[in-house]
Structure 1
Amino acid sequence: MTATPGGGLGPISAAEAASARADLVDLHLFESYLAPVGVKGLAVWCDDCAKDHLHGWFQLRMALSQILAGLEPEHAVLDDTASETEFVSWDFCRGFAAHASGNFAVHPTTTT
């Protein structure tokens, strides 16, 4: 993905679009398993800030939708009152969903 002068990403490749769509499917599955037990979203490492950012389920869906539309996702984080214990990593979600569903091939090669 390459930024355009107007702040958007511009068109994304077919592979990037397929990856973002697969991430959306995974995200829906992760939320369906984990939201009922109190998980509010994901902790995502930010290379720019060199720390984890806490992203709610809705915020993550919006970011992936923006990427699919060729827009630059906002560099937004939840407020400081969010508890890190209520957020998990993408890898944790993938492992939890694989175990819960009995499907140990939940997009094993997708990295985010």
Structure 2
Amino acid sequence: MSFDWQMPKDPFADDDFDPASLFDDEEEQLPPLSDQEREQIKQELQFVYQFRAALLPKGVMGVVAICEECQEEHYYDWDIMINNMRATLAGELSPAHEPSMNPNPNAYVPWDYCLGYIDGMSRR
């Protein structure tokens, strides 16, 4: 299953007052992924495609996780997760994104719930 979704055009493209111009132009280099890390991310990416296909029609917008640093819930939309994983596999930094404003906590479920849901569907 493949989706050819692309990030929208940068709203500040060709803008002389682009706030990103305040940052260095040097690209940060990520350490290369090990073969095991690459395979794990590929597998997780396939899971996210399955989760989105099964759960989005039911109103589930993505995954919720407790942040290890701040101990608060963070909400990740399906497309953000897909784009972050694709960027990681390409050796790039994850694209900048804005979190959902006032996300509906009832529209996000834990990763393990998604795995269980897909497993349950396959046992029908």
CA RMSD of aligned residues (A): 2.1
Unmatched tracts of structure 1, length 5 or more? 104-112
Percent of aligned positions that are identical: 24
Partner Cα distance (1:75, 1:19) in 2: 23
The residue that corresponds to 1:96 in the other structure is: 117
CA contact (8 A) 1:40 1:56 kept: yes
Greater Rg over alpha carbons, structure:
2
Q: Deviations over 1:25-81 (max 9, x none)?
A: 111111111001000001122222222210111000011111112233357552232
Partner Cα distance (2:96, 2:65) in 1: 12
Normalising by structure 1, we get a TM-score of 0.77
Q: Deviations over 1:5-26 (max 9, x none)?
A: 9534221100000000000111
Equivalent residues, number: 99
Normalising by structure 2, we get a TM-score of 0.70
Q: Are residue 34 (structure 1) and residue 22 (structure 2) matched?
A: no
- Name which structure has the greater RCO, CA cutoff 8 Å, separation 6+: 1
Unmatched tracts of structure 2, length 5 or more? 1-25
